[in-house]
Structure 1
C-alpha cells in the first residue's frame, strides 16, 4: 500500500509540475509595463514605430486593467519587439 501511495504522489507531481510552472512563468503586467516604459524612454524610433508602440501599449494597459496579464504581456512584448528589444 505504501508503494501505491508513493507512486500516486510522484505521478501527481509529474503531471502538476509543468502546469504550475507555466502559470508561474507569467510576469505581472505592471512590471512588464515598467520595463516597456523604461525601454521606450531610451529607444530611438521613427514616428511610425512610435505610433505602433503607443497603440500596443494602450492595448496592453487595457488588458492589464482587465486582469488579463498574459494578453497584456503579449502586447507589451510586441511593442518591445518594435523597438528591437
Structure 2
C-alpha cells in the first residue's frame, strides 16, 4: 500500500469513528454523583470539609441538571479529592 492509500485509509477510519479515547464523552454525572454519595457515607470529615463537599456537590448537581456533565464531573471530582478519594 502506498503512502497516499494509507493516508486515505486512516482518514476514512477517523471519519467513521470520530470519538477517540482522548475526546470521549465524560462519565454521566448521575453515575459520578452516586459514587460521591457512597464515599460521603463512610467519610470522617471535619465540619469545614463537610461544608466544602456539600458546596461542591450542590454546584455539581446544578451543572448536572443543566446537562453539563463535564463541569458537573469536575465539581464532583473536587469533592472526592476533599474526601481523600
The CA distance in 1 between the partners of 2:69 and 2:35, in whole Å, is: 14
Relative to the length of structure 2, the TM-score reads 0.82
* Offset at residue 17 of structure 1 (A): 6.7
- Segments of structure 2 that go 5 or more residues without pairing to the other structure are none
CA separation of 1:66/1:48 partners in 2, compared to 1, >3 Å: closer, same or farther?
A: same
The CA distance in 2 between the partners of 1:60 and 1:27, in whole Å, is: 13
Q: Deviations over 1:21-60 (max 9, x none)?
A: 2342521100000000000000000000000000000000
Query: In proportion to residue count, which structure has more helix?
Result: 1
User: In the alignment, what sits opposite 1:84?
Assistant: 84
* Offset at residue 8 of structure 1 (A): 1.2
- Segments of structure 1 that go 5 or more residues without pairing to the other structure are none
The CA distance in 2 between the partners of 1:57 and 1:23, in whole Å, is: 25
CA separation of 1:44/1:16 partners in 2, compared to 1, >3 Å: closer, same or farther?
A: farther
